[in-house]
Amino acid sequence: MPGREENASTRTFCEFFAGIGLVRSGLEPSGWDCTYANDIDPKKREIYERNFGDHDAYDERDVWNTEEVVSRIEDRPFLATASFPCIDLSLAGNWRGLEGAHSSSFFGFTQVVEALGEQRPRLILIENVTGFLTSRKGNDFRNAAKELARLGYWLDAFVINAKSFVPQSRPRVFIVGVHESIESEQLVRQADCSVWDRWLMELDRYPSLRPSSLSEIMRTTELPGTGWVATPIKPPEQKSYKLSNFVDTDDSQDWWEEEARDKHFNMLSDLHRKVVEDHMAARVEMLGTGYRRKRNGSTKLEVRFDGVAGCLRTPRGGSARQIVVHIKDGQFRVRWMSPREYARLQGVSRFRLLENDRQMLFGFGDAVCVPVISWIDKCVLSPLYEECSNANLVG
């Protein structure tokens, strides 16, 4: 693959809802050059610039300020990425969906794409929680797909869980938009039907990539002007790892004192307490993680010892912050997971951290898992770029 310097003028991308820059972290190693980054959170920008320098192209304008945003995008990017806010697609946002104050910013992004006119990116990558597929009975996802199609994009979609790469359960849905100007041999288009439907075959080939909640939407949703495609990808191979390589267990960690420890032990449900007590009685060393959750009006600590951490989230209210649970020599000890451990579980172990732990946890909790982005780049984005480059369709 050509080096970054050779591709700096054409292998470009704009990063919307950039956060702390983990999409950029996943794309840069293969030569992508970020020419514009957009996010309204100055605290996330501080983390971004701690890792990528004083980035002149970083823009704190609200994405709804269409004219101002477009004026900052000087040349046609090949790719635009958008990890728009997920809060309204979940219980935390009362399931308001794309009509919510936060998640509706997806349409602010598409408004910018539309205003770019002939300078629209060749590729688009959208990322969000899997609740996007069920929000308002799937209609939010359908409407988002129709909006992208209206702008001239053929669409593929798939679900990737970060646990294929790191010990974190973090399933996310991705939409890849391919501009209608691209005639790629790599894409199986919905309209390419003969005796058998190749697109349907690809749709059903790997249920983990396109589960029924997604494939049903793709089968039944007609896209205006374009249609659906399938990129002939296979699910990522499961990496071998140990949670102990990502989460620290040494005595120097900030383990809670007896009162806080016992309080959380008493939060365990009968089932979870039995698991913990059995491990303590067997004097087997076990490393796990847990979350405090409201169950039937009371707060419970739910733990897991399957070698995979729960999905990292922002620390709103404290209960959403992940807890490290360690059993050794018959002793039970717990503590908050650290920002460095969050960084490792997001695939950026050497990420530069600020001293404000809460600021870092918010940044990582809202972000994407870097190895997942790198995998999508390797399997989908860069191959399409190379094909377009060879056909003189870049720039």
Q: Is 323 helix (H, G, I), strand (E, B) or coil?
A: strand
For the chain, what is the mean pLDDT? 90
pLDDT in tens, 103-153: 678 989 999 999 999 999 999 999 999 988 998 888 889 999 999 999 999
pLDDT in tens, 270-306: 999 999 999 999 999 999 999 998 888 899 999 999 9
pLDDT of residue 7: 41
Of 10, 19, 11, 56, whose CA–CA distance to 38 is shortest? 19
Q: What tokens appear for 211 in the block?
A: 């589960």
What pTM does this model have? 0.93
177 within 8 A of 155, measured Cβ to Cβ: yes
Q: What is the mean pLDDT of residues 54-69?
A: 89
Q: What tokens appear for 188 in the block?
A: 């199986």
Give me the torsion for CA of 309, 311, 312, 313, rounded to 10°.
-150
Over 60: is that where the pLDDT of 92 sits?
no
Question: Of how many residues is the chain composed?
Answer: 395
Residue 293 or residue 92, greater confidence: 293
Cα–Cα distance for residue pair 246/28, rounded to 1 Å:
23
Give me the torsion for CA of 190, 231, 130, 136, rounded to 10°.
-10
Please give the class, per CATH, of domain 4-234+368-390. alpha beta
pLDDT of residue 88: 52
Degrees, nearest 5: CA angle 65-173-167: 115
Cα–Cα distance for residue pair 248/324, rounded to 1 Å:
9
Q: What is the mean pLDDT of residues 18-30?
A: 97
Q: What is the mean pLDDT of residues 7-32?
A: 90
Paired strand residues for 175: 126, 157
Q: Where are the domains of the chain?
A: 4-234+368-390, 249-337
Residue 57 or residue 163, greater confidence: 163
pLDDT in tens, 339-391: 999 999 999 999 999 999 999 999 999 999 999 999 999 999 999 999 998 87
